[in-house]
Structure 1
Amino acid sequence: MSGLAASKNNPLTTAVSDLRQVFPGAELEIERVDVDGSGFLQLTAATPEGERWFTHDDRGLVERKPLSDSRIPLSKKLSGASAEDLRTVSYRPGRRMVIEEKRNGAITTVLKGYRRRKSTPAALNHRVAEEAMESGSFRIPRLLRHELELETLVFEYLDGDPFLVGKPAVEICFKIGTLLTRFQGLVRSAELKKFQAEDEFGVLDTWRGKAFAGTGALPEGWDEARRSLDEAHACLSETQWGLCHRDLHDGQILLVNGEPALMDFDLLCQADTALDPANLLAHFSLRSLQCFHGADDGTVRACGEALLDGVDRRKDGAFWNRLRFYQGTAFLRLALVYALRPKWSKLCEPLVKLGKKCLEEQIRNA
């Protein structure tokens, strides 16, 4: 794969080849790949009829169907409903699934089902996010009920448009920055667990293991860039704590009546106020590399500047120190994530270079 060091042992290549053999002539695009705790690949493939899910393990290629997933209690509901009433929009085998529910042909609610004992922490996180909304932050889907027996959260369905990085989004990016500052200031976030700067090392180590297990290699220059992280961490300014989404990217933002709404609070925590904007900025740059919906360096730069204007921390040198650190870790993580996506593995090397550039700038200016 372009962007990865050469390897004779590439399980992902084998899995994709097996998938093509099982479905010859089918229009399949590998959208997402993960590696489970046993080192086996979990693949999400887009087809004209919708997404399909597969595991590639010692048995070879095995299709995974949400209806048959006994580890997620919500699967019971699928067996008693027609395909017209429920549509699976997201699925991670053995972990969680997201389903849209229709009535009279219109989507009314979104059901998010977890494995056992995982829905209660998710519900608590969402309640905190709702408090942030009520304090003037992002619009979020309201939690309508918690069906504990099905380990499922039932949300209102928000009808909106995707947030796309580009010139028309500059004004929205300023609004996102403003709302993010309000979101971070929620006092009750003190009840949530803390995500420390050093926890980024564990996240990167996990993804390093996944990328190597999945491809038999690492992105060119990744280990070298990772070594610079120790020096960057030593130069890090004092943490400024706030409410943190911790998975903030453009795909988590929906425009409802032209206003930004925010989704998915499973990773909600306390963390540095630089983490969320850094992660979002890194994803802006990723969209430029992908030329996603026409994104380029100029539009991404304009969107990034508008976001930071909204955050209103430009004169805070300590904030820039922490922002560059978290941008660096975000780019290094994205390089590993996209090493597992065949269509985009060519982006691994430029993502590593961007991460290294951010860390070097942080160290130089510390």
Structure 2
Amino acid sequence: MSEPHCPDRNVPEDPGLPALSRALDPKSAAEALQDSLGSVVIEKARLLRHRPGRRALVEYRVLTGSGDRRVLLGKLRAKGLDTKSYRVQKALREQGVAVPGVLGTVPELGMWLQERLPGKPVTAGLPGPDGPRLCAASAELLRALHDSDVEPLRAPHTLRDEVRILRERLPLVSRARPELERRVQRILHASEGLAREMELSRGEARTTGIHRDFYPDQVLQRGGRMFLLDLDLFCRGDPALDAGNFLAHVTEQALRDLGDPKALALCEEAFVERFVELSGESLRRAVHDYATLTLVRHVHISHRIPERKPFTEVILSLCEERLLARENRQ
């Protein structure tokens, strides 16, 4: 077997996630992974994502005892092993939903393992001629998730939770950008009105297991197959929320990458039409309403991510346009 890769000397110190340094040391990590994988050599450990004090995602390139090379992902959490996400993804895979296979848990590192699948996120293909087909296929994958009878292990997520998130996050934009405060307050007020209208029109909407963070980057294209990624927020909720979230992210991508929120309109149309064909015409309005609420949330997301800050005011204007158009129709 080959020798393990030297430890990364640039491992970030994270007192809130002390297991991270060990997880990134190939020799130490290999010892911890033995119970799940048997004897392996970790040829390289690479930090892919890191939220200090909260969680991290590590890529492992391993050589197994039988001589096979594999690429794995390790998901670490400061609060300890996330057994809920592990169990849900394992159950979904067993039911035939296209998600990466799980490979075991490493309690001493607060980490669970899954295979890393090769492929490209759907996001990359949206501007091309295949974009509408990819979006329609994403709707089919989403419906498969909603149709599964895997019981969510997290608390339900409701429309009121969506509004609560806006109330918590939009004031952060107002404080940092006081010149936008009146406009931000106005879209928050209009969003609350939209949510009240949705509650009246939706009534006791049917709930299913939902992804809760479904957008094109969460769908992996691998040859002719599509795979659903990152089920960490899987819970019970309104299936239209997932579809609206996807739709809003496509609009935001069009605005940010192509300079026109309507540039990927054919992709949006293909997604919505396939989703309502599979899930019911009665969800169409809710999908668009949830998309509007998600765009409002993107005002804060753009403010939070440094490279997206230049788009905050443009997204705000788009939200104003949509919410004011709704008010004028009433």
**Is the shorter-chain TM-score for this pair beyond 0.5, marking a shared fold?**
yes
- Listed as ranges, the matches of 1:178-217 within 5 Å are 178-189=140-151, 192-212=154-174
Query: How far, CA to CA, are the matches of 2:274 and 2:244 in structure 1?
Result: 14
* 2:25 maps to 1:75: no
Deviation at 1:296, TM superposition (A): 5.4
Query: How far, CA to CA, are the matches of 2:14 and 2:192 in structure 1?
Result: 45
* 2:86 maps to 1:123: yes
Alignment-derived partner of residue 245 in structure 1: 211
Deviation at 1:67, TM superposition (A): 5.2
Alignment-derived partner of residue 3 in structure 2: none
Query: How far, CA to CA, are the matches of 2:90 and 2:326 in structure 1?
Result: 36
Residues 1:260 and 1:362: Cα distance change in structure 2 (over 3 Å): farther
* 2:283 maps to 1:324: no
- Listed as ranges, the matches of 1:79-94 within 5 Å are 79=25, 81=27, 85-94=44-53
- Return the structure number with greater helix share: 2
- Listed as ranges, the matches of 1:144-223 within 5 Å are 144-163=103-122, 164=124, 165-166=126-127, 167-189=129-151, 192-212=154-174, 218=180, 221-223=183-185
Query: How far, CA to CA, are the matches of 1:155 and 1:214 in structure 2?
Result: 39
- Listed as ranges, the matches of 1:1-366 within 5 Å are 65-66=11-12, 68-69=14-15, 71-79=17-25, 81=27, 85-103=44-62, 108-131=71-94, 134-135=95-96, 137=97, 139-163=98-122, 164=124, 165-166=126-127, 167-189=129-151, 192-212=154-174, 218=180, 221-236=183-198, 237-238=202-203, 239-291=205-257, 299-313=263-277, 318-360=282-324
What secondary structure sits across from 1:189 in the alignment? coil
List per-residue Cα deviations over 1:68-116 (Å, max 9, x = no partner).
5452424323245499610101111111111111135965211111112
Query: How far, CA to CA, are the matches of 2:153 and 2:106 in structure 1?
Result: 24
Residues 1:316 and 1:111: Cα distance change in structure 2 (over 3 Å): closer
Task: Answer with 119-128 or 151-160: which moved more.
Answer: 119-128
- The answer (yes or no) to whether the contact 2:11–2:24 under 8 Å persists in 1 is no
Gaps of 5+ in 2: 1-9, 29-41
Alignment-derived partner of residue 32 in structure 2: none
List per-residue Cα deviations over 1:95-143 (Å, max 9, x = no partner).
1111111135965211111112351232233234435xx34x4x21111
Gaps of 5+ in 1: 1-63
* Counterpart code for 2:296: L
Deviation at 1:281, TM superposition (A): 0.8
* Counterpart code for 1:71: L
Query: How far, CA to CA, are the matches of 1:311 and 1:154 in structure 2?
Result: 31
Residues 1:295 and 1:348: Cα distance change in structure 2 (over 3 Å): closer
Percent sequence identity is 21
Which structure is higher in RCO with an 8 Å CA cutoff and minimum separation 6?
Answer: 1
Query: How far, CA to CA, are the matches of 2:292 and 2:133 in structure 1?
Result: 26
Give the aligned length: 297
